[in-house]
Chains A and B, each alone.
Chain A
Amino acid sequence: MASEAERRPQGMFECQLCALSAPYSYVGQKPPDTRSVVLLEESYILKDPFTADRDKFLVLGSRCSVCSRLVCVGPECSLFYSKRFCLPCVRENIAAFPQEIRQDVEKRKALAKMPHVKP
């Protein structure tokens, strides 16, 4: 139970784009209880609520490296390409990204329009 305290919620994470909210228990690049995995961005992290395994974590989101908005990792809100970018920033600067990303962003737009994916 030593790590119980570390897993206590530190606050509420709320995506500034989709308003998804969830409690987070850690912010940083080195999730507690995991030795071999590091994160490549400052992330808001929750102990994975879907497993009893205490060292499994779940990344909720991080700040956009362009506009500093706090965004979730959901495909409708942000993408990661060596850094976190919120989708509005990606769209605004779409030319800066390689073709694979551009295609992917197009695909996401199409998916988001389909009714069953919408909340």
Chain B
Amino acid sequence: MPPPRTREGRGHRDHHRAPHEEETPERWDWNHPETRRLLEDTFFRDEEYIRQGSEECQKFWAFFERFQRFQNLKTARKEEQDPGPPKHSIPALADLPRTYDPRYRINLSVLGPDTRGSREPGRRLPPERVAEFRRALLHYLDFGQKQAFGRLAKLQRERAALPIAQYGKRILQTLKEHQVVVVAGDTGCGKSTQVPQYLLAAGFSHVACTQPRRIACISLAKRVGFESLSQYGSQVGYQIRFESTRSAATKIVFLTVGLLLRQIQREPSLPQYQVLIVDEVHERHLHNDFLLGVLRRLLPQRPDLKVVLMSATINIALFSSYFGGAPVVQVPGRLFPITIVYQPPEVEPATAKSEKLDPRPFLRVLEAIDNKYPPEERGDLLVFLSGMAEISAVLEAAQTYASHTQRWVVLPLHSTLSVADQDKVFDVAPPGVRKCILSTNIAETSVTIDGIRFVVDSGKVKEMSYDPQAKLQRLQEFWISQASAEQRKGRAGRTGPGVCFRLYAESDYDAFAPYPVPEIRRVALDALVLQMKSMSLGDPRAFPFIEPPPPASLETAILYLRDQGALDGTEALTPIGSLLAQLPVDVVIGKMLVLGSTFHLAEPVLTIAAALSVQSPFTRSAQSNPECAAARRPLESDQGDPFTLFNIFNTWVQVKSERSRNSRKWCRRRGIEEHRLYEMANLRRQFKDLLEDHVLLAGTEAPRPGDSYSRLQQRRERQALYQLKRQHEEGAGRRRKVLRLQEEQDGASSDEDRGATADQDSCDSVDIQDVKFKLRHNLEQLQAAASSAQDLSRDQMALLKLVLGRGLYPQLAVPDPFNSGCKDSDQIFHTQTKQGTVLHPTCVFAGSPEVLHTQEPESRASDGSRDDKDKMSSKHQLLTFVSLLETNKPYLVNCVRVPALQHSNNVYDRDFEELGHVIVGPEGYTELKVQDDFLEEWRDLRTKGRVPKGWRWKGQIQTSNREQGRGLQEQLDPGADGVSESTSHHILSLFPQVPYSLRRLTGLEVQNLYVGPQTITAAPSLPGLFGSSTLSPHPSKGGYTVTDFLTYNCLTSDTDLYSDCLRTFWTCPHCDLHMPFTPLERITHENTCPNAPQGGSPGAEEADPEPLQKASALQRPYHCETCQKDFMFTPTEVLRHRKQHV
């Protein structure tokens, strides 16, 4: 009997098929593939609820088998006839079916095959089997509904049970009455996931929620999408540097603080948002602090904009009072009680004064847990250590312990681990075994691991600190703050009562600072100041920071930006500065990009700039694993680390473009974290777009395959990629695995690697990163760039180095003269600010420092001495480096070796460069001296190699906004000065044989290098010498500023250099004038020679084409001690005058 209102069983055809079934009843087999195919053809066609061949279809058949077994059991029971109750007076109850049947309990119905017009396959199916099948299908659908509803109900219950759920109304109410609300609550109270949903439910539709980390943006958007039941809709989105899921329908977007700041940069009043949630303000990140300052200024202009600050319960009063006493809604966290055990390490007998951390106090905790808690009581251990070296020290000891007891799986956790290795901490330990996670402070706030019951807190943290004087980053170990100690402790009480072992005394805790030092007090502020300038926020010194940075940091940043030409003398943003402000990278890298495109080296420079802007792609294990090192060796460049990265990226692109090869495997074999290469590719693309926007690069058309067939092919490929991406997104997330015990893990790392490869390749045959990469980038274009990089000419390479060198200036280091006689590890280098730095162990030169030595046996310098001190050589080299990092030693990171004289004479700021005497550096700390007998040759060549003004860009450019972009390009264009590859050829071929000495001046020498500020301030009129420009006295060095990089007459030893004896005959190559000249007279002539090609030397463009006859132009102020009078004399006149007194 059909249940009421169903449409099943209405088919008239049933009668015809009945006899057919009776003929072969015993041969019916539900499991026969043909049977199933017939049924699927009938019920599971393309537009049906379940589709043939889908995962759902498989699930159905599994359900079907269980259902059949269950039905057979039931029918075996006696059918008992219920007479049913008497007719009811309530109509709804009156017509209930008399006889119970489970199908009456299902609120849906499936249309029969007959109603769908599917005659063909259905005809061969006996109607009773069809009915049976349909009945199973109904139950399957009902089961699915119950399951999904169960999940929904559970989700809603859990949301309602969060501590913050009680406060939702209050938060909304407070926000109605105030512009700013502070929501304070500890981890686990649910603020990050719930507050956005409360706002959505209250009808807000333009909500932005900032997060300090990109990962959090993605995971929160997913979670909130899921919880608000619009996971697959578009209400909730995220936006991070290279990815966005935002659409017109998006009501709430999670984005990084940096990205929001860029939006403010474009539209200062932030018109696109109604509500702004600033999460994790207590973390005091540089950008977050800055954003708060920006908002405080913006709020009066946007009275309709609401701001919710979300913070852990740390220093809430600070945030509230900063926003004029904003109301605070305090939400209690959900923490179970935690026992604190203070366990300061006993004073150990000083075991060989090593810097290595003693793991014994940590092992004692493992032991104590093993002794006190039975293994059946679950609960893992989280150990907070200060850094990676400390983690490996404890890791080693803990693994040995674990292999004895078989009760622990020990896992490291830090930011340089590969993503896959980081994920392991979320896996589950087998029964009776605990996880011991050794972590840096990233597990304090960024990574939340469930199931932690025990915490060990070392009380230490390694943090970057910044020394503005030395422009040096230091990674130092500090005691943590009380706030951090509480955060660490709290990790033990998230899932149940816990224990926190503090490896320090309670009195230590009492002495801790209450809060961590905010980032703004610890880092270089160059980028921040630049951004502030580009947002027209006025004088950074007067900006109302929530807590101001150290004034010295601000001053250093401002000075640096002025030196780099990003700010002018009045501290206003220059056009170059505003371009640099839009590049999301360090100023140094930005300079490189601009120079690179100017010199037609955009492609390689894009790659190098991107490579230097992401974390090192080398995994830690790769450093220790000799196989990885060997596999990587062919990619190493003896020119320097940026070129190694350049090779890796290019080769990787080649691997990717070869269909058959697996780039993931390629990377793993070489100890490279592929994720970083994807980041490089993305960053590279972004740089390219920005440079194209500014017309520094001609827009590139994607190469289109000519014929329609290949176009079609390409479209198909893209469609296939999109489909793969969709499928992946629909698939479930990563499932938790059960960890193996340690001894297996240790067995052989390569084994594990292979295992992991097979594992990943089989269970997830789609490399989703690869798919995304191919969708985002034009692989052909990248490949073209990569393969052209492989045949960079020698000249291009030299020019590339000049670009890097100029970009990185003044970050250069002089090798110590004694290096060639020292061991690899004792090689030291001197920078302007720091003596005795060493190469970072990852640096390519650390293993082969000999490429940095001057190996010239024929060099005829300082007789017999083995060192390079004052050694005359034409092959001296300098190191230019990306950063200076101090841990236990000051390290140079990412070094490039450059030919000293060529670079000094072409790209570096220098003070004096005649007579083969070059002083390099803003404070003049490196001296190069050309060997006397080569002076002629050197002078001859130096003028030819001169790189044009565009090179220096300082103060040269007047415009840079988009409309005038072309103007900017022209001004930077080396073509205008006739410089291109031929220049680099010149530079390279110059001085190959000229021997010179290279040394770092001592502090005392530098002090006495300049004559210093002079009493006579009147600028001498020296027409013809440096063109018609008026010379202004240099305020600190003395002498006169000729150009921004040449100061004339400022060195104490100058006077002697112009004596007559140095006058030699010389023929001007341009006007054929043949005369005796002093060197200075000669550059004067060169600068003014009417026949000389333009742009040959600085200042030439303003040159008055005066002929040389006006030799008297060489007059300069002379103060005679004997007659106590001031004169204007030429050097010869000085000599003549002096003779009078003799």
Interface residues of A (CB under 8 A from B): 4, 7-8, 20-23, 34-41, 43, 46-56, 58-60, 62, 65-66, 72-74, 79-85, 93, 95-101, 119
Judging by beta carbons under 8 Å apart, are B105 and A81 in contact? yes
Judging by beta carbons under 8 Å apart, are B7 and A38 in contact? yes
Point out which of B5, B6, B141, B152 has the most chain A C-beta atoms below 10 A from its C-beta.
B152
B50 (CB) vs chain A CBs: closest residue: A36
Judging by beta carbons under 8 Å apart, are B3 and A82 in contact? yes
Q: Range of interface residues on chain B?
A: 35 or more
Judging by beta carbons under 8 Å apart, are A49 and B231 in contact? yes
Name the 3 nearest CB pairs between A and B, nearest first: A49-B229, A65-B92, A52-B730
Judging by beta carbons under 8 Å apart, are B82 and A34 in contact? no
Judging by beta carbons under 8 Å apart, are B96 and A93 in contact? no
The answer, among A55, A60, A83, A119, for a CB contact under 8 Å with B92, is: A83
Tell me the complex Cα distance, A73–B726, Å.
32
The answer, among B96, B153, B729, for a CB contact under 8 Å with A97, is: B96
Tell me the complex Cα distance, A99–B97, Å.
12
Judging by beta carbons under 8 Å apart, are B157 and A59 in contact? no
B160 at the interface (CB under 8 A from A): yes
Q: Which residues of chain A are within 8 angstroms of B92 by Cβ–Cβ distance? A: 65-66, 83, 85
Give per-residue flags for B82-100: 1 if the beta carbon is below 8 A from chain A beta carbons, else 0.
1011001010110011011
**Using a CB-CB cutoff of 8 Å, which residues 95-110 of chain B contact chain A?**
96-97, 99-100, 104-110
The answer, among B4, B108, B232, for a CB contact under 8 Å with A82, is: B4
Tell me the complex Cα distance, A23–B730, Å.
22
Q: Which residues of chain B are within 8 angstroms of A54 by Cβ–Cβ distance? A: 232
Q: Which residues of chain A are within 8 angstroms of B160 by Cβ–Cβ distance? A: 119
Give per-residue flags for B434-478: 1 if the beta carbon is below 8 A from chain A beta carbons, else 0.
000000000000000000000000000000000000000000000
Judging by beta carbons under 8 Å apart, are B88 and A20 in contact? no
Min CB distance B138 to A, Å, is 9
Judging by beta carbons under 8 Å apart, are A48 and B148 in contact? yes
B12 at the interface (CB under 8 A from A): no
Judging by beta carbons under 8 Å apart, are A73 and B96 in contact? no
* Contact (A82, B156) CB under 8 Å given A37-B110, A98-B82: no
Judging by beta carbons under 8 Å apart, are A37 and B96 in contact? no
Judging by beta carbons under 8 Å apart, are A37 and B149 in contact? no
Judging by beta carbons under 8 Å apart, are A98 and B148 in contact? no
A46 (CB) vs chain B CBs: closest residue: B229
Give per-residue flags for B216-232: 1 if the beta carbon is below 8 A from chain A beta carbons, else 0.
00000000001001111
Q: Which residues of chain A are within 8 angstroms of B106 by Cβ–Cβ distance? A: 40, 80
B818 at the interface (CB under 8 A from A): no
A79 (CB) vs chain B CBs: closest residue: B105
Min CB distance B91 to A, Å, is 9
Q: Which residues of chain B are within 8 angstroms of A34 by Cβ–Cβ distance? A: 49
Q: List 20 A-B contacts (CB under 8 A).
A: A21-B156, A22-B156, A36-B48, A39-B109, A43-B107, A47-B233, A50-B151, A50-B231, A55-B49, A58-B149, A58-B152, A65-B92, A66-B92, A80-B106, A82-B3, A84-B107, A93-B90, A96-B96, A100-B100, A101-B100
Tell me the complex Cα distance, A34–B51, Å.
12
B766 at the interface (CB under 8 A from A): no
Q: Which residues of chain A are within 8 angstroms of B145 by Cβ–Cβ distance? A: 58-59, 73
B47 at the interface (CB under 8 A from A): yes
Judging by beta carbons under 8 Å apart, are A39 and B148 in contact? no
B111 at the interface (CB under 8 A from A): yes
A12 (CB) vs chain B CBs: closest residue: B201
Tell me the complex Cα distance, A65–B104, Å.
15
Min CB distance B63 to A, Å, is 16
Tell me the complex Cα distance, A74–B47, Å.
29
A85 (CB) vs chain B CBs: closest residue: B92
Tell me the complex Cα distance, A85–B92, Å.
9
Q: Which residues of chain A are within 8 angstroms of B341 by Cβ–Cβ distance? A: none
B151 (CB) vs chain A CBs: closest residue: A50
Judging by beta carbons under 8 Å apart, are A74 and B93 in contact? no
* Contact (A20, B110) CB under 8 Å given A52-B232, A55-B49: no
Q: Which residues of chain A are within 8 angstroms of B151 by Cβ–Cβ distance? A: 50
Tell me the complex Cα distance, A66–B104, Å.
17
Q: Which residues of chain A are within 8 angstroms of B90 by Cβ–Cβ distance? A: 66, 93, 96
Tell me the complex Cα distance, A96–B104, Å.
15
Tell me the complex Cα distance, A79–B156, Å.
20
Tell me the complex Cα distance, A119–B160, Å.
9
* Contact (A38, B109) CB under 8 Å given A7-B233, A96-B93: yes
Tell me the complex Cα distance, A79–B146, Å.
12
B161 at the interface (CB under 8 A from A): yes
Judging by beta carbons under 8 Å apart, are A41 and B157 in contact? no
Tell me the complex Cα distance, A93–B160, Å.
32
Q: A35-B116, A37-B49 are in contact. List 17 more A-B contacts (CB 8 A).
A: A20-B153, A22-B152, A23-B229, A35-B49, A36-B116, A40-B6, A40-B109, A52-B730, A58-B152, A59-B108, A60-B152, A80-B106, A96-B96, A97-B96, A98-B82, A98-B99, A99-B82
Q: Which residues of chain B are within 8 angstroms of A93 by Cβ–Cβ distance? A: 88, 90, 93
Tell me the complex Cα distance, A96–B157, Å.
33
Min CB distance B162 to A, Å, is 12
Q: Which residues of chain B are within 8 angstroms of A99 by Cβ–Cβ distance? A: 82, 100
A61 (CB) vs chain B CBs: closest residue: B149
Judging by beta carbons under 8 Å apart, are A36 and B96 in contact? no
Judging by beta carbons under 8 Å apart, are B7 and A80 in contact? no
Min CB distance A41 to B, Å, is 6
Q: Which residues of chain A are within 8 angstroms of B157 by Cβ–Cβ distance? A: 119
Judging by beta carbons under 8 Å apart, are A81 and B104 in contact? yes
Min CB distance B525 to A, Å, is 45
Q: Which residues of chain A are within 8 angstroms of B141 by Cβ–Cβ distance? A: 37
Q: Which residues of chain B are within 8 angstroms of A39 by Cβ–Cβ distance? A: 107-109
Give per-residue flags for B45-68: 1 if the beta carbon is below 8 A from chain A beta carbons, else 0.
001110000001000000000000
Point out which of A21, A36, A51 has the most chain B C-beta atoms below 10 A from its C-beta.
A36
Min CB distance B109 to A, Å, is 5
Judging by beta carbons under 8 Å apart, are B152 and A37 in contact? no
Tell me the complex Cα distance, A4–B56, Å.
23
Judging by beta carbons under 8 Å apart, are A73 and B149 in contact? yes
Q: Which residues of chain B are within 8 angstroms of A73 by Cβ–Cβ distance? A: 107, 145-146, 149
Min CB distance A35 to B, Å, is 5
Judging by beta carbons under 8 Å apart, are B229 and A82 in contact? no
Q: Which residues of chain B are within 8 angstroms of A20 by Cβ–Cβ distance? A: 152-153, 156
Judging by beta carbons under 8 Å apart, are B100 and A98 in contact? yes
Point out which of B47, B148, B249 has the most chain A C-beta atoms below 10 A from its C-beta.
B148
Judging by beta carbons under 8 Å apart, are A49 and B230 in contact? yes
Judging by beta carbons under 8 Å apart, are B96 and A49 in contact? no
Min CB distance B46 to A, Å, is 10
Tell me the complex Cα distance, A66–B91, Å.
8
Q: Which residues of chain B are within 8 angstroms of A83 by Cβ–Cβ distance? A: 92, 96
Min CB distance A112 to B, Å, is 13
